[in-house]
Amino acid sequence: MMHHRVFSILRNSNYIRLNSVSSNASLSTTSIAKTSNSKRYIPRRAVLYVPGSDDRKLKKIPSLGADCIVMDCEDGVALSKKETARSKIHHVLQSQEIDFTGKDCSVRFNSVESGLCEADMVEILSAKHLPSTVHLPKVDSPEHLEWFTEKLKLAMKDHSTPEKLRLIIFIESAESLLSLPSICRRGIELSKDAPFDLDGIVFGSDDFCADIGATRTNEARELSFARQYIVTVAKAFKLQAIDLVYIDYKDLDGLRLQSEEGAGMGYTGKQVIHPGQVPVVQKAFSPQAEKVEWAAALVQAFEQHQKEGKGAFTFRGHMIDMPLLLQARNILQMASHI
């Protein structure tokens, strides 16, 4: 059981998301508070896709343990079932008969280039109740986001919601990888006036491999550059980064290793394709109890030194600097939302 001190710090923490701090910033609570973002943080450790056309799987949603449930119109749905998927997802949202408590209720539309995205948006977003998050696959350019924004405004014109939709974009081609900083920058700009906030990036590894002609393997060495680049850009824009699918869903040991590797790179979550993968992934992307205790103790020590008017100090044998303090607060942020 965690020490009471940890829970006290978690309850009192109002640092929802940390933005970058310049290297010459003073190590003070005030300077960190100014960099925080008040947007509510939604954990997405495991992102599980449920075909929107499949009643049986949709009805299982309340029993699924994933942080983020994606009712899918895209890859998980046959072309002949696209209209069915739209209709069923609309019904789920309209009726509220499926319980999403503790889960990010989200929908993945078809891509802009598919010619199906607008129809998805019009029907699904005409429901009385909206999803928390929408996913847009195969975003290859800023222009795709501009098109999406205009269509979303039309689809949402009759809705008045207290909170914007969260938008998760998918990077699935060489073109999109090279354009990623421009895509993110444009997404942030559009968020100012659009009915969405850009919230995260998903690495669509299988389509990416097909696009560049790579051979997909469990070890994913062929994807090392793309994985590292995507998480780097995501963090530069303060976005969540969702890692690739582990394709052998029965190999839980391999899944655990790849999940721990992704978490070590800085990814905040991972896509899963089978409910059996969820517990392994959720654990890998959760702060360990001893790490939370370390973070809470470090923050408490820092705040005590600030009260005493002291500057730099050592903690458990390490000189404390801004990166370590930010790391500690990020750990507490995640722990407070799980």
**Partner residues linked to 198 by β-bridges:** 167
Give the distance from CA 13 to its chain's centroid.
21
Look at residue 327 in the predicted model and tell me its pLDDT: 64
Least Cα distance to 212 among 169, 177, 167 occurs for 177
Q: How do strand 46-51 and strand 269-272 relate by DSSP bridges?
A: parallel
Q: pLDDT tens for residues 52-64?
A: 999 999 999 999 9
Active site residues: 321
The three-state secondary structure class of 14 is: coil
State the average pLDDT over residues 229-242.
96
Residue keyed to tokens 């998050």: 133
User: Which has the minimum average pLDDT: 66-70, 147-151, 165-169, 303-307?
Assistant: 303-307
Give me the count of residues in the chain: 338
pLDDT at site 286: 85
| pLDDT at 99 exceeding the cut of 50 | yes
| Distances in whole angstroms, Cα of residue 238 to Cα of each of 18, 86, 187, 304 | 8, 31, 12, 28
Amino acid at 321: D
Q: What is the pTM of this model?
A: 0.81
The model's pLDDT over 5-46, given as tens digits with 9 standing for 90+, comes to 444 444 444 333 333 333 333 333 333 233 334 578 899 999
pLDDT reported for residue 32:
29
What digits encode the pLDDT tens for the residues 289-336? 666 676 777 777 777 767 766 666 777 767 676 666 666 776 777 776
